[in-house]
Amino acid sequence: MSHYYRLVVSCPDRVGIVSRVSGFIAGHGGSITEASQHSDLETGRFFMRYEILADSIGMPPEALREAFTPIATEFEMTWALTDTRQRPRVVLMVSKESHCLVDLLYRWTAGELDCEIAAVISNHEAMRGLVEWHGTAYHHVPVPADDKQAAFDEVERLVEEARADCIVLARYMQILPPALCERYAGRVINIHHSFLPSFAGAKPYHQAYERGVKLIGATCHYVTAELDAGPIIEQDIHRVSHCHTPDDLVRFGRDVEKAVLARGLRWHLEDRVLIHGNKTVVFA
């Protein structure tokens, strides 16, 4: 498998950014295999993602970061250079519904998700057999209504122990405390079983049924302290009609949820998602 460096940049828009960065890479013999750019005309912000064939550039990532730093400083860049040999470590969190977890574990074992699933954390025991069959550590952390803080202290300890780069709420039906959201800002991904911002909160498919919608959907987004309000990564929809019951909507929704979550996670792992305020730029 080819080895790449990924350069991701956000900075004030101005003339010469692409030329300077591309010239820097070419000057070190680097081969750019994928390039994406976007200028936000309203905010004057520029976004860039380059994939560089690592073997072509002839230096380790630490040296490349050091060499690029003067350009980043000159253009006031928020930037990151990642090495695809360093596979991100992911912790999955789940409650009782298994469809998203099963789908992610399948895609991971099939090689579709370039990461290490370091652990699964659940507030129920129901998924232990499934997870351990995949050779992954399973941690049962009940979340009692009268002592949620202690439970989330344990969750945070397990996440630290797993050295997680990313947390995925694969239908985890508990609200993470604000401190945990802030500590892992931009690294906690959730699937909401609705087309946000419509029908936030509990039982969105039943809310949609009562409203008589003709389209249902699912939303993959980053988690923030405000419930179901974080930057959106991906969404998709499924058409419904007056013939369908709430159970039908839930069934259709499961298929949309797992596909949307898988796409959102894959794009995050591939450094294709750049957060800009409460929005995202997605180079998919």
Residue that has been written with the tokens 């500590």 in this structure = 183
Selecting among 146, 228, 247, 255, the annotated active-site residue is 228
CA dist 185 and 273 (Å) reads 13
Q: Rounded to whole angstroms, how far apart are CA atoms 226 and 212?
A: 27
Other Cβ atoms less than 10 A from the Cβ of 75: the count is: 18
DSSP state for residue 63 in the 8-state scheme: H
The pair of structure tokens assigned to 188 is 């906690």
CA dihedral 76, 65, 50, 234 (to 10 degrees): -70
By the 8 A CB rule, do 130 and 101 touch? yes
What are the tokens at 178? 């604000």
CB burial of residue 127 (10 Å; 0-12, 13-18, 19+): buried
Return the percent helix, strand and coil in the chain, to nearest 5: 35, 30, 35
Establish whether 103 is a catalytic residue: no
Q: Which is nearest to 248 in space by CA: 209, 198, 199, 197?
A: 209
- What is the C-alpha separation between 236 and 228, in angstroms, rounded? 16
Catalytic positions are 228
